[in-house]
């Protein structure tokens, strides 16, 4: 990880706290906000697009495949879950993950943290539904006691 300024400049360099940093063999994912840029090794099986990592040429996110693999799914089962993928793509993504396990686990963890930060509680988005669910939960809890 490297600290970054605002945007990636060009294909092979990006600005980091006012200094240009060479990143030729790596690609950087730019979230267009101050913070960190994760750099990911180039692979024919993985591409960065719209701030996320995807199985190349598909709409299937890298984390979808990796999480299924972490849960114990075989490559054949993963292909059944994502019919747009070829078995060779799944094996390529798994090999990429295993070769860069720490980096990809950090990427997945950051995505989960970002989701947590952006999730709006039901109590704010639909207070009436939230109140009914809370009443039902309290009713179930009182019946158990």
CATH number, residue 62: 1.10.10.10
Q: How far is 47 from 76, CA to CA, in rounded Å?
A: 22
pLDDT exceeds cutoff 70 at 18:
no
pTM of the model: 0.59
Residues 26, 49: one domain? no
Give percent above pLDDT 70 in the chain: 72
The C-alpha atoms of residue 41 and residue 123 are separated, in whole angstroms, by: 42
Burial state string for 46-77 with b = 16 or more CB within 10 A and e = fewer than 16: bbbeeeebbbbeeebbbbbbbebbeeebebee
Q: Which domain holds residue 125?
A: 43-144
Q: What does the pLDDT average to over 49-56?
A: 91
* pLDDT at residue 117, rounded to an integer: 84
Instruction: Say if residue 3 is in the same domain as residue 26.
Output: yes
Q: Residues 7, 55: one domain? A: no
- If one counts the domains in the chain, the total is 2
Residues 63 and 80 reside in one and the same domain: yes
pLDDT tens for residues 100-139? 999 999 999 998 888 888 888 888 889 999 999 999 999 9
pLDDT of 24 > 50? The answer is no
pLDDT at position 73: 97
pLDDT value at residue 122 = 83
């Amino acid at each position: 990880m490297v600290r970054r300024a605002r945007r990636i400049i060009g294909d092979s360099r990006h600005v980091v706290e006012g200094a240009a940093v060479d990143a030729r063999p790596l690609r950087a994912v730019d979230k267009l906000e101050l913070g960190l840029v994760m750099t990911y090794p180039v692979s024919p099986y993985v591409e960065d697009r719209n701030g996320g990592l995807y199985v190349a040429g598909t709409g299937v996110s890298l984390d979808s495949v990796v999480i299924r693999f972490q849960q114990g799914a075989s490559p054949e089962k993963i292909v059944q879950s994502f019919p747009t993928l070829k078995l060779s793509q799944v094996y390529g993504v798994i090999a990429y993950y295993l070769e860069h396990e720490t980096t990809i686990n950090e990427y997945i963890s950051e995505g989960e943290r970002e989701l947590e930060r952006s999730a709006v509680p039901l109590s704010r988005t639909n207070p009436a539904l939230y109140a009914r669910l809370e009443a039902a939960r309290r009713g179930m809890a009182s019946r158990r006691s």
